[in-house]
Amino acid sequence: MTETAAQRLIRKLQRAIVDGLEDVKAQDIQVFNTEALTPLFERVIIASGTSNRQTKALAASVRDKVAEAGFAKPRVEGEDNGEWIIVDCGAAVVHVMQPAIRQYYRLEEIWGGKPVRLRKAASGRGQAAARAGTAASPARSPAAASRRAARAADA
């Protein structure tokens, strides 16, 4: 497979994942390029859900959208309690977390070196897709701002 074909494939997977998250109203979707950080996967996608029920629905929606896009059915871990669910899509790993868990573990600080800007979806999802792209920078996220403020207060 050529490099451009591989890039198109990862963008198609990324779009399917973000569409699945947007369909169930995920909050603060962030996408990170991890190609230079690990050979295991190329993208880490982090999103929040407000309850156990929503995080489970988000994971199920991602699983369905990825399968509909023609990729292998993803493996899912953490659905039992729903606080932090990992959806392993092969070239992309999705972390669906409740806000308190997300703030505690701060995965954006680990994977946040290479944010990915998403293009607007052709299906007209418009502003949600645009938000997903601009929210990729941890410096712009509300959670990152509140963490910086807390660190400044501690200093």
pTM of the model: 0.74
Residue type, 103: Q
Structural domain of residue 115, as residue ranges? 3-154
- The neighbour count for residue 141, using CB atoms within 10 Å, is 18
- Is the pLDDT at 94 greater than 70? The verdict is yes
- The domain total for the chain is 1
Residue predicted with more confidence, 123 or 120: 120
**Sequence-distant (≥ 6) Cβ neighbours of residue 36 within 8 angstroms:** 114
Distance CA 15, CA 87 (A): 15
**Structure confidence at residue 35 (pLDDT):** 86
Question: What is the Cα–Cα distance from 49 to 131, expressed in whole angstroms?
Answer: 16
The residue written with tokens 């859900």 in the block is 49
Paired tokens of 84: 């932090």
CATH of residue 84's domain is 3.30.460.10
